[in-house]
């Protein structure tokens, strides 16, 4: 193998370290086994999924009833066109949603 054939090593991931009571560890190990995953794989998948839910929930805008009615009225008004800021916001949103594996919004 020549030096040009050597693949660069991927950087090692970051480490998380924490202690849990034995009964919690046993529960997590059992759940990982039920899912056919290693403890580490199960922990990473579960923490990642939960983190995405938390971040999505934090990013969702909560509207008052009045604001909801106004938004729906504006969405139904076919004469309105999105401005440049709204188009850019939609592009940013689509980039984030696609990263999370969801479908693009048009």
Give the residue among 46, 53, 13, 14 at the shortest CA–CA distance from 29.
46
The pLDDT tens digits of the residues spanning 57-105 come to 888 877 788 988 998 999 899 998 889 999 999 999 888 877 665 555 5
User: Does 48 score more than 80 pLDDT?
Assistant: yes
User: Does 36 score more than 70 pLDDT?
Assistant: yes
Cα 16 from chain centroid (whole Å): 19
Inter-CA distances, 72 with 35, 62, 79, Å: 42, 14, 14
Residue 106, SS3? coil
Residue 76, SS3? helix
- Please report the pLDDT score of residue 99 as a whole number: 65
User: Does 40 score more than 90 pLDDT?
Assistant: yes
Yes or no: say if 77 and 71 are a contact pair by the CB < 8 Å rule.
no
Residue 73, SS3? helix
Q: Residues of the chain with pLDDT > 70: what percent?
A: 81
Cα 22 from chain centroid (whole Å): 30
């Amino acid at each position: 193998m020549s030096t040009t054939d050597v693949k660069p090593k991927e950087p090692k991931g970051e480490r998380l370290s924490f202690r849990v009571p034995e009964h919690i560890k046993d529960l997590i190990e059992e759940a990982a086994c039920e899912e056919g995953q290693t403890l580490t794989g199960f922990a990473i998948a579960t923490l990642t999924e939960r983190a995405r839910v938390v971040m999505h929930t934090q990013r969702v805008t909560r509207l008052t009833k009045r604001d909801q009615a106004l938004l729906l009225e504006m969405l139904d008004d076919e004469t309105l066109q999105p401005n440049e800021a709204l188009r850019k916001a939609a592009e940013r949103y689509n980039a984030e949603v696609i990263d999370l594996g969801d479908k693009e919004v048009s």
